[in-house]
Structure formats: C-alpha cells, structure tokens
Chain A
Amino acid sequence: MRHMVMLAAVLLVLRAGSAAAQTRDVRAELAARGAPPDFVERVGATVDATRAQGLPPEPLIDKALEGWAKRNRVPPERVLAVLEQLRGRLAEGRAAAVRAGMADPPGAVVAASAEALGRGITADEVRELVATASDADQAAAGLTVAASLCAQGLDREAAVRAVEDTYRGHSGSEGLFELPSAVADLRGRGTPMADVARRIMQGGGLPAPAAGQGSGQGRPGTIPPGHGNKGSGYVRGQ
C-alpha cells in the first residue's frame, strides 16, 4: 500500500511536471538567474520550436538551467548545441513510442524515452519497453528506471530485462522504483557488478550445465578428489 501511494506520488510529480512545462517560462527563469538577453532569447526560441513540434519542453528547460548554472565552464554555444541534441532525442523517443502503438504519446513518455536513449538504450528497446507496459504511466516509469539502471553501470540488456520482468511481476509498477535502490544497495554492500546483474535479472532460470558438476551432483569445487571406485584417489587416511 505504501508503495502504491509512493508510485502515485511519483506519477503525480511526472504529470505535474509535464503540465507545469506547458506554462513554465524559460525566458523568465533564465533572466531571473542573470542570463544575458541574447542567450535567453536563443534558448527561448529552441524551447518554443520544441513545443511547436509537440515535444515536451521540460527536459530542455531543465538542461538549459543546468547549462547556465555551469556557465563558469560551459560556453553558451555548447549549451545550445546540447539542447538541439536533446530535441533530436525527444523526436526519436516520440517516434519509438508511436511505433510501439501510442498514437499521441504523453510528454512524460517522450521525455523518459529521450532519457533512456541518452543512456545508451536502443530505439528498439525503447519501443519494446513502451509496448510491454500496461499504460503510459508505467511506460514512463519503466523507461526512467531503465535509464537509471544503465547510469548505475548495469548492462543495457539486463536493465531492459529487469524492467520488463517487473512489468510482468506480481510486484507491479510500484516495484519499478525499487530497482535503482536495489542496485545501489547491493553495490553499497560490495556486491560485485556481475552478481548485481544476475540478481537483478533474477537468475534467468539457468540450469546447471552438465551432470557430474555443479551444485549437488558431485563434490563441491574446492573439495579435492577422494578415492575412486576403480582407481586410487589421493586423499590418505589420517
């Protein structure tokens, strides 16, 4: 129940952010932070064009504010170039969501798709994560979480599969936001990344490969040979 409440809160934040983006004035926000008029206007024009394309402007606004905050080492031209790249990813993300069957994908899905693409998840995998989600809210959450897992160092395919498994699992959507915490927790306890990937992927049901080795079907790997039925093993009586 607590998780359902939290998921609802997260989705509410996503929706509220998207709605706020329609009314957020990037020019006013940048001007309030002391940005020069020329920079303000060029960013504003890019955001306007993004909005006119039907793409969510919120990621661009956040990125512009980040770029301005880092102005002591990031020139304005670089910020504008990054915004154009992000705009391209938003268009690519929307195209992937449309291919997944969403005629008019919500801004939260498009923004999350762009975020996932930016973390190395392929357009096909984005389409798959959207297509396998139960609804747009779950798709947005799943894409965000997959991007987060990749950013934490988890293998791309493992991240996608973990999200899909959570879609299917009994834990439902609220389990999604447990995944990044679980990875962080495992890493915090020193669990090797290979083990983290395996646990996150829930083992994959991999069978023991061959009789005579593996758990339970013979000596454990570090127990030396004893006495062969027809041969002479090394272990001596003590």
Chain B
Amino acid sequence: MIRGVGVATLLCASVLEAQEASLFLGGSRARYADSLDGTAAFAAVRLTSGRGLRAGELDAAFSAFTSGGWALQVAGQTTILWRTQRRHGPYLGFTGGAALNAYQGGTPSGSIAAGPLVALAAGPTYLSLGTVGGAVRRVDSTWSPLASLSARWQWQPARALSADAALTLTGSDTNRLADMSLGLRFGGQVPVRISAVAGTRIGDLADGPWGSLEVVWQATSVVSIEASAGRFPEDLAGFAHGLYAQAGVRVATRGATGLAPPALTVTPLDSNRVRVALRYRKTAHALAISGDWNGWTAVPLRREGGRWIVELPLARGVYQYALVADGEWTLPDGVRGIADGFGGQVAQLIVP
C-alpha cells in the first residue's frame, strides 16, 4: 500500500507544486448492485496545478461509515503537453494516473497507467488521442495488465459552455470493453456551475448506461457547496456498479499565483464612458485616480458609502492606473499590482 502511494505521488509530481488546495467535507450514500448500501461521512483533500501546458490533480478521501470502519482513496493524474510546431500544433504529450483504494479489513486495490497522447486544436474544437499502459490490482489481490486507447473531442462554443464526447477502448486480463460518453458543462455569469455526463459501455462489464450530474455553487471566493448524484459502472478492480449521491462543502485556498477578489468594479455607461467603484479602507482625506489614458493626470474620486466612485471617459480596452491618496501613490485594497518600472506599482483597469 505504501509503495502504491509512493508511485502515485511520483506520477503526480506536477501537483507537488500545487497552485490550489482544497478541503472537502461531506457525506455520501452509495447503493451497490449487489444490494449493499452504505452511508459515510468523508473528508477529502485536492491539490491542483495548472501551469502552462501542464495540469495535475491529486485527490485523497477518507470515509468513515455510519456503521463503523473506514476507507481511504487516493487518485491522481497529470498531463504534460508540448507544442511541436508553433503555428497550428499538434501538441504531443504524456499523461499518467494512479488510483488506490484501501478499507478496513480489506485488500488494497488500484490501478496505475501512463502513456503518450497527441492533441489538435482548431478554434473552439479540440481533439485528442491517447494511449496508456499499466496494471490493475484487483480486490482479489491479483494483478492484471491494462491497456487503453482513448479519443476525446471537446467543443467550447462559448466561454461558459463546453461539450465533449469520448471513446475509450480498454483491455485488462480477459476483459475487453468500450466506454462512450457525452458531457456538458455550464458555468455562466452566475456563480453556479453545472456539469453532466452520460455514457454507455459495450463488451465485458457492460451493465447499462451510467451518468452523473454535479452542481457547484460558489458561495464565496473560497467556499463552495457541491452536490452530485448518478450511477457508476463496474470497474476493472472488481467493484460492482451502483448508485450514489453526495454533498458537501469545499474550502479552497487561492494558491500561490492567485489574486484576491477584485475590490474594483468597472461598469460601462456607454461605449466611451465607465463608472469605476473601488474600495480603499485606509484613511484618506482625498483620493484620486491617475492613469495612462490622460497622461497620468489625477482625477478625484468621490466617496459614496464605503466605496470611492469616479466616471471616466474610457472605451473598451486595458489601461494602467494608480491611486493618489493624500499625495501618496497607492492601489485599491485587494487589487493585484504590477511593477511600474520606477520601483512602485500600477494596476490594470479593464474595460469590458
């Protein structure tokens, strides 16, 4: 078991430089095909990294059953892509993953696999083809080789909407199966994300369609409420198919490169005029905004409630600015600063 965790950790090395970490506390109920069911409370930790063309994720969940006993699950995956030719791609890369299941009184099981992939990008459409080889340790303590070939098509017609279709052919021991799935994800201007996936399997271990629906409500910048339910298929390690429902609360860090939620809002009034509202908590008798749209001439802001307000003659675009508070150069609370070249900082004013 320890060796398995070590291999999983090494394979998911990219998440060691995790940019984000989150803790998920919740409960789940699962009913398996053989009429067993159970209710568990669980705590899960997720480390996520998404730097450049590298992406990685490591999940670890500890479940405590209402009937006593525990289960530990660790799963991770990492993908690294390189561009072969700058103008159109394709991207060549590597993907790998590992999973481990352990539970009180049982035999650890899991899988480990890695292999190359190629991806093509054309506008809002992506197509990727990958193959992995590895091994599965089954619940009866036997090991089986694993080989899989997967193709995935992804289409993102709008930033808030994406759809994908995937076909995965898998062979392990005597099992030969093909999984086909369709997914739809929505995350619009409201702080709610909805994703649904549905699939079917042909070949061995085929036991009807499977699917899931997940809803995530981003309650605050660091807290989200998540709920999901669905049907899962039998897996190669030997666990039966079943139904599940789970819900919980996730608390996430902002990560090393994250930004604080902006304390500045820009509202277009017409095509050439915006209203800027910002938060500045430090004591200031007079506050002005100065930027590159008018040769850094300071424009005074007025106080309205807890915000400072100004209207500026700006068209859509990206501008640089700073505040002048009682003669001192500064930035609004919680706004990311960028070096101004003079040893100080400015910030970006983005007019949508």
Q: A and B from one assembly? A: yes
Binding site for B on A (CB under 8 A): 5-6, 9-10, 13, 29, 33, 62-63, 65-70, 72-74, 78-79, 82, 85-86, 118-119, 128, 131-132, 144-145, 148, 151-153, 155-158, 161, 165, 168-171, 177-178, 180-182, 184-185, 187-195, 197-199, 201-238
Taking a contact as CB atoms under 8 Å apart, the answer to whether A234 and B104 are in contact is yes
- CB-defined contacts of B24 to chain A, threshold 8 Å: 222
- A193-B20, A212-B111 are contacts. A207–B150 as well, Cβ < 8 Å? yes
- CB-defined contacts of B111 to chain A, threshold 8 Å: 210-213
B122 at interface, CB cutoff 8 A: yes
Q: How far is the CA of A70 from the CA of B150 in the complex (A)?
A: 58
Per-position 1/0 for B114-149, Cβ under 8 A of A: 100101111110111110101010111100001010
Taking a contact as CB atoms under 8 Å apart, the answer to whether B50 and A210 are in contact is no
Q: How far is the CA of A228 from the CA of B32 in the complex (A)?
A: 10
Taking a contact as CB atoms under 8 Å apart, the answer to whether B232 and A219 are in contact is yes
In the A-B complex, the 3 residue pairs with the closest CB atoms? A205-B126, A190-B221, A228-B139
Taking a contact as CB atoms under 8 Å apart, the answer to whether A29 and B295 are in contact is yes
Taking a contact as CB atoms under 8 Å apart, the answer to whether A206 and B340 are in contact is no
Which of the 9-residue segments B59-67, B274-282, B303-311 touches chain A?
B59-67
Shortest distance in angstroms between A20's beta carbon and chain B's nearest beta carbon? 12
Taking a contact as CB atoms under 8 Å apart, the answer to whether A151 and B348 are in contact is yes
Shortest distance in angstroms between A48's beta carbon and chain B's nearest beta carbon? 19
Which of B170, B261, B271 has a CB less than 8 Å from the CB of A190?
B261
Taking a contact as CB atoms under 8 Å apart, the answer to whether B246 and A218 are in contact is no
Task: Closest A residue to B111 by CB, please name it.
Answer: A212
- CB-defined contacts of B97 to chain A, threshold 8 Å: 208-210, 213-214
- CB-defined contacts of B78 to chain A, threshold 8 Å: 209
Q: How far is the CA of A170 from the CA of B296 in the complex (A)?
A: 37
Taking a contact as CB atoms under 8 Å apart, the answer to whether A205 and B121 are in contact is yes
Which of A6, A144, A153 has a CB less than 8 Å from the CB of B257?
A153
- CB-defined contacts of A168 to chain B, threshold 8 Å: 88, 121-123
Task: Closest A residue to B319 by CB, please name it.
Answer: A148
* Size category of the binding interface on chain B: 35 or more
Taking a contact as CB atoms under 8 Å apart, the answer to whether B246 and A210 are in contact is no
| Contacts of B96-113 to chain A: CB distance below 8 A | 96-99, 101, 103-107, 109, 111-113
Q: How far is the CA of A180 from the CA of B136 in the complex (A)?
A: 44
Shortest distance in angstroms between B324's beta carbon and chain A's nearest beta carbon? 9
Shortest distance in angstroms between A76's beta carbon and chain B's nearest beta carbon? 11
Taking a contact as CB atoms under 8 Å apart, the answer to whether A193 and B232 are in contact is no
- CB-defined contacts of A213 to chain B, threshold 8 Å: 75, 77, 97, 99, 111
Taking a contact as CB atoms under 8 Å apart, the answer to whether A190 and B123 are in contact is no
Taking a contact as CB atoms under 8 Å apart, the answer to whether B50 and A194 are in contact is yes
Q: How far is the CA of A197 from the CA of B19 in the complex (A)?
A: 11
- CB-defined contacts of A67 to chain B, threshold 8 Å: 342
Taking a contact as CB atoms under 8 Å apart, the answer to whether B140 and A228 are in contact is yes
Would you mind naming 16 contact pairs between A and B with Cβ atoms under 8 Å apart? A131-B87, A155-B257, A192-B254, A204-B91, A206-B81, A207-B129, A209-B132, A212-B170, A212-B235, A213-B75, A222-B42, A224-B103, A227-B239, A228-B139, A229-B240, A231-B107
Which of A171, A188, A225 has a CB less than 8 Å from the CB of B239?
A225
- CB-defined contacts of B59 to chain A, threshold 8 Å: 221-222
Taking a contact as CB atoms under 8 Å apart, the answer to whether B162 and A202 are in contact is yes
- CB-defined contacts of B40 to chain A, threshold 8 Å: 224
Interface centre among A69, A73, A86, A128 (most CB of B within 10 A): A69
Q: How far is the CA of A195 from the CA of B170 in the complex (A)?
A: 29
Task: Closest B residue to A24 by CB, please name it.
Answer: B295
- A187-B261, A203-B154, A207-B166 are contacts. A235–B350 as well, Cβ < 8 Å? no
Task: Closest A residue to B60 by CB, please name it.
Answer: A221
